[in-house]
Amino acid sequence: MVASMSHRFVAAACVVATVAFALLAMTSSAQLDPHFYDKACPAALPTIKRLVEEAVAAEPRMGASLLRLHFHDCFVNGCDGSILLDDTPFFTGEKMAAPNANSVRGFDVIDSIKGAVNAACRGNVVSCADIVAVAARDSVVALGGPSYNVPLGRRDARTASQAAANNSIPAPTFSLDRLASTFASHGLSLQDLVVLSGGHTLGFSRCTNFRDRLYNETATLDGSLAASLRTVCPRAAGSGDDSLAPLDPTPARFDGAYFASLLRSRGVLHSDQQLFAGGLGVTDALVRFYAANADAFRRDFAEAMVRMASLSPLTGSSGEIRNNCRKVNYS
């Protein structure tokens, strides 16, 4: 009963926060348009799609990496391409923030896409922020996930913040309450939290992200999975830190296996298993629902991605369109 009441409290708090932030988001996201480049450069989106498909075919894990790149960009001051910026004498960027260092990847793929898009458009027309958003969608599709219309017209940030990245991106050690409050602070609901976490149906995680779960949380982790993961992730810090484990049994296929794993206490990350405690909470019900309804997961994931992709974009005369995604223009 106490756990259930806690979940209801979190849900109520999320609703209040979501309404407040939704009002703020409506003004900026209304300026985005999936057809933004139809006249300025009709070759832009097909070019991004082709290069993403090539990258994912060469390394299926890259699909999850490009999806994660978009998520980590949007959660830090909005979807503005700030995560792509290298450090400068004037600011310390986001690449070496704790959630990103030795973890977030795909920058070379974005560089290649940007060069190809500039050539196809015969100029610097498409922002890096839009490229990241479209590449995430095309990665999901390449691995069997749903397509959706990406709102476009973002411009790129001229600065980045390591401190903001450290404070804004949810960590794999977060509790459910902290996950919910972090998502609510971005105008995203508990349902968004659960369905976007379903993006972990793709990809892998490093040992450093789940080591504590193996040795300190064994009561909440399936025993056979724990034993298997210990073989690639020893107890001693620094030993096997970069060893990888799939986040669900089918890491290169977009499906409902992630939610099925949570039902069996086989969530690799602490933050993933927090979504399902086996009780009557809101997130427990959503995990059960998506585990049993693959079509609903695909539909709701696509809708949640559009909401996330619309977080605080720079539009109009704000920001710029970077010629090189790693640095601001004229620097």
Active site residues per annotation: 72
Residue whose C-alpha is closest to residue 222's, from 184, 178, 267: 267
C-alpha to C-alpha distance for 55 and 39, rounded to whole angstroms: 27
151-188: string of b/e by CB count within 10 Å (b at 16+)? bbbbbbbbebbbeebbebbbebebebeebbbbbbebbb
C-alpha to C-alpha distance for 111 and 256, rounded to whole angstroms: 32
Beta strand pairing call for 204-206 and 244-246: antiparallel
The single-letter DSSP state of residue 279 is S
Residue 214 · residue 226 · CB < 8 Å: yes
**Structure tokens, 103:** 């973890």
C-alpha to C-alpha distance for 3 and 178, rounded to whole angstroms: 15
Residue whose C-alpha is closest to residue 94's, from 164, 158, 156, 155: 164
C-alpha to C-alpha distance for 202 and 140, rounded to whole angstroms: 9
C-alpha to C-alpha distance for 321 and 330, rounded to whole angstroms: 12
Residue whose C-alpha is closest to residue 152's, from 65, 265, 54, 38: 38
C-alpha to C-alpha distance for 178 and 57, rounded to whole angstroms: 36
Could you give the C-alpha distances from 294 to 150, 201, 298, in angstroms and in order? 22, 12, 6
Residue 273 · residue 221 · CB < 8 Å: yes
